[in-house]
Structure 1
Amino acid sequence: MSYRIALNFEDGVTRVIDCNPMETVMDAAYRQKVNLPVDCSDGVCGTCKCRCEEGAFDMGDDYLEEALSEEEAAEGLVLSCQMVPESDCVVSVPVPSSSCKLGPSVFSGEITTLEQVSPSTIVLGVTLPNPEALDFLPGQYVNIAVPGLGVTRSYSFSSAPGADEAMFLIRNVPGGAMSRYLTEVAKPCDRLEFTGPFGSFFLRERKRPVVMLAGGTGLAPLLSMLEVMAARGETETPVHLIYGVTSDSDLVETARIEALAARLHNLTWAATVADAASSHPLKGYVTHHLTDAQLNAGEIDLYLCGPPPMVEAVRGFLKDKGVTPASFHYEKFTPNAAEEAA
């Protein structure tokens, strides 16, 4: 069997390669025309130093201390010319993809789902001729081209990698280029092109209870993560999702969350509406419903995605609480820049 190795470059580009048993990451990358930085390939120079963020591997002992110290190895640093994976891995490469003669992949597919599910949200589904060619980490995004305008907008997948249909939650921005296209022009079978995947906001190995905080369409990447957890049958680590929106009409995909909770028995969730006039049972912001028990004295993996004011409010809330999550990953999207959605 082979292992999937996700190479994350510092410019946000991700490329997933296959690594054969007993094959080094360096050899696998070069075999698939990804030119990782290297000078010696013998564990002597340290030029190929990367960081393994997730997965099991063997480094052997055929490298010099000058190339990789014990302290660096303890921190997760590896030499790609010596690293032999023993499972799927995520590896951060500290150079831009362009320096490895690599660029983001371009995909083209047909619109197969197009539904305005609320005044603020559009559900978009795109089916590719070869869906398995689209390989990304749950939580990542792509840049979708607005047909005829020569501009792109960034959206995270709400679907899991490998799904037949790539799904997105699109924030409906009045006057926005993508919003106008989707609400006024687009129709099923029209073609869309996008590039990617990009981003360092993705699901890591679960080592402790998981807390997920979503604001509006920031729910999308968290849905992708939950889909992967459910597919893998990961039901041991507690997962709690708090989904916050502005008004009642902004609440979307709740039936999908319920369906995920039925598959993931360790998943609990709550939705809250900021509008004081809401009829929803829970009102206020996500921080109003984040308990000390859920914070677990900081022994949590925290994933946060939403508009900048929400992200900053959560960070301020944690600071005031004196809580530093053991693992904290967040992504902001900017609603005042037309449709740079999460």
Structure 2
Amino acid sequence: MALQLFPDTSKSIALEDGTIYAYIFIPPSSPNQPTFLLLHGFPSSSFDWRRVIPLLQEDGYGIIAPDLLGYGDTDKPTEVSAYSMKRMADHLSELLQKENVQQVIGVGHDVGSGLLSYASLAHPSLFEGIVFSSLGYVPPGSFDVDQFNIITEQVLGYPTFGYWKFFDEDDAGRTLDANSDSFVSLFYPQYAEDWKTTMGPIGAAKSWVANAKVTPLPAWLSEDDVQKRNQVFNKGGYTAPLNWYKGVMRKVDEPYAATLATEESKSIGLPALVIVGEHDHICVADFQKPTAETYLRNYRIERLQCGHWIPLEKPAEFVALLKGFSKSSNLA
């Protein structure tokens, strides 16, 4: 969490609606250096950028890395309606305005890419460019998780989003809180392909956690890392973060999505980079391209030899792509 783990570079701020956000803020070394807005996914916080931030900072880039709503030292409302992607996108816009940051390069990972999708549609002038990692661009609109699971099972031989059904249960947060070590083993598997059987199939994730299964950590995650991330979730638990999933499944952004009636209205002309992991068995690399082709007018895709946790598994390669993107001639 920003304030506790990065006290020298973090701060908190109250927005107009009273919501308090905590975030890492490192100004650029010169006015010509871009600032990266880093949006983490689930189950994460600004702590998940710990290997990325030093590599950007050493070249003088600016950095804003919030604990997103429900996480870390940021507020954790319990009502699902608070987790409207449009509302949280407006929060990001206000946060940048309060820091007098005119433009950023937005970087999203996992469901942070979903938030970046909404933010770049609702506030395009804030962005020089946008980078999606693991999960690609997510156009606003209804998402039928049951239909998606049927399609992915037909194509891949297993459904990819079965765990969403567990996350939508009212007591899922309490279940995760009571079995934290098991949940860490589930979400940070020793072998990436384990997700084909532990996360994707309906009922598998709930069974794993309910039975308190624990496996060794992957090579790229240390015991110290786990202790610190557990420190993050000891403050508030998992109930609020799960509202990101509940909000999508319960269609809290339907009013905003209804204002975007055409495919063109959901399209983005900003320079875009999509970074995928070849061995990501949930946000499957090949599934990110069709949406990019449909909605991103100026994009390229880069594939890395890793699983889902790109900023943790391949930080140097990830940052090299970010730096190259920041220097590309097509940025505003």
Higher RCO (CA < 8 A, seq sep 6+): 2
TM-score, structure 1 length as denominator? Answer: 0.28
Give the structure with the larger strand fraction.
1
Over alpha carbons, which structure has the higher Rg?
A: 1
With normalisation by structure 2, the TM-score equals 0.29
